[in-house]
Structure 1
């Protein structure tokens, strides 16, 4: 709290009369000092995205995912993400560098945010984020996937025999594209409401136009083993019952 010394803040915290567990009280005290009520929707959205991600994403990648899903309207998504995480250095790592993965520092904070009986107004329903995350993944793949994405000069060599492949991956495959290629289906599986018809249209486009490009990315990322199960799940979700539909 501005204008208070660390000792005064400690004294204020230790003299609060509350029935809450000490750790929950600590988290609530910190969050209430950081965020005003008018920032709650943004806090829940950004933190929901962080908690729902299957592997940590940087501020830059989080912002690009939000932008791809049109979550923030006319606002710059980087500004939206930064407006929340930059104040949370005591609770999250990676908040001072736009290209470092943002992670919850302690599992207890994740548990606290995910339990409404403990976090109250700061409760984060991460399951609500999976639809936006899935949409972001599909849009990012649509925009960024293309033939020979790593600009490899020959297709006659095994990946492990291609000199400088790791540098090419880092240069040409963005973190948000790598994430999207690996986890788009996992996000779709987590959606608990009926899927919007736009998902079917995007899936048909993906299968008709980008399937091989997706496999190419998985191959260089050494993740191609996940492809069969992901493709079988498309059929189980009955999202592409009419593959001859127009794009």
Structure 2
């Protein structure tokens, strides 16, 4: 007897190979190696998540807006909220697909593979779509070519399969529930013009097909090419995180991070070092920025720092940190920039086209792994430094790359484009040496 559940899995698996999706783009990715590494701390963002859940699960008659735009400044927790919403909706079997853009992460910075990646996920989550997607691939042989318009891909791989599957459902008594597609960090996609066209086309699709049981949750910073199209459309529900981040959220997150540090025995189990007055001052100083909160906590509990200070002794320094990211980055980098190999290591991490491991950075800079590690451990408050030599080093936030690549902002810490030439020469050297050797991760990058 044919096992239909197993045959269905094999069918979707075969379709996935054809679509060639980006495997580390969804909410199920390993966030340490495929950032953003964001999650809502216990007791935080509950009201925002409640609002998103109500919008997502409401009937189309009660909530006709198909698009929810969650927007705010860098570091206000957009990706953490998107991750929490994806986890919640996946548990409720309402999540169709998710895609997390992130600058400096190869294909996740471009729109080229967005539609195929979304399509591969909905084939597994939305009943009846997999055969319709396969039919579209047979009907349009060039559908997956890079030269094909992303709008054409979305129409035939995402919109039409969901729309047709909904209306041809053989379970009318059960209905066809509304599914949600989450796209996080849309502003981090480098293809600005194509993104603007995609948003315009998305709005037009829902205007023409208002009863399609599909919704999009989009998060981004406020950038002109997105604001112009999303801000005034009747199809778009707006959620401004500037108005949704309270001192209560920051205080709850602060408590959770301190408790985590206590359990990890980073400092004494007593909480006397942080008086109610100091805690209130810290919450006020953080000013609603979750990334600033995270950086301050890493600074306070930095075990690799050689200053010999306790969290209590570092607290006055933390309270004097400028919450603007540029000053914060300058403060952290300034403590280590005098060390040997600091700038070649920093520039290689900042300017690489994709996240690199410690071993690859060592090869590209032509120094030992130990030398690379000795620098990176001092920067763990702004870099995610892995516990081995082969897992990629990633940024806590893409604003760090922006800072290093702007001479006006970073001054003497500027990652000059001239480093690209040195990097290119080293890549050529590695490639030449590999002719008579086994391939490695460094050679593959070169």
TM-score when normalising by structure 2: 0.29
TM-score when normalising by structure 1: 0.50
Larger strand fraction of residues: 2
Larger helix fraction of residues: 1
